């Protein structure tokens, strides 16, 4: 499981000309799920996301987590995070999990993040063509892969 976490001052996602999710400050999390992922990957990654200290404290140091700043999460499924580009110019997505595997893990991630943050998680629509708008604050962008825990 791979996540690209962007600290944002605001963000929204639009599907078929309708906003399906929006937040003020917090994280946009682009989530890629691969065949090898398990519910344990969801739990580990969700804990990392909510405890990630990348908001500035009073001295301007990245020392505060999402809860410290009353931040929100906009979660977007993105299978293209597992693009393989070694051969040719057309990416292969063979490592990305198929919907029958990915959707339950994506839904588990939503529930886990809601449980940890005690807030509703804003989302796009799994598998839809989405338009994501955001203002990256910093910019601060962090990539976390559950296969690189050590």
Catalytic positions are: 80
Q: What is the DSSP letter of 110?
A: H
Burial 67-100 (b: 16+ CB within 10 A, else e): eeeebbbbbbbbbebbeeeeeeeeeeeebbbeee
Residue 122 to residues 59, 90, 114: CA-CA distances in angstroms? 30, 31, 10
Report yes or no: 130 and 76 within 8 Å, Cβ to Cβ: yes
């Amino acid at each position: 499981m791979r996540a690209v976490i962007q600290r944002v001052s605001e963000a929204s996602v639009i599907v078929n000309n309708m906003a399906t999710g929006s937040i003020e400050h917090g994280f946009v999390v682009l989530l890629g799920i691969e065949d090898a992922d398990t519910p344990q990957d969801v739990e580990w990654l969700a804990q990392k996301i909510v405890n990630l200290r990348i908001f500035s404290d009073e001295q301007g140091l990245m020392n505060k987590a999402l809860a410290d700043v009353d931040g929100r999460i906009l979660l977007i499924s993105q299978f293209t995070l597992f693009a393989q580009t070694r051969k040719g110019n057309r990416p292969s997505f063979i490592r990305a999990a198929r919907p029958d595997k990915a959707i339950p893990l994506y839904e588990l991630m939503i529930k886990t993040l809601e449980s940890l943050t005690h807030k509703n998680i804003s989302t796009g629509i799994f598998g839809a063509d989405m338009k994501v708008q955001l203002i990256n604050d910093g910019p601060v962008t962090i990539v976390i892969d559950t296969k690189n825990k050590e």
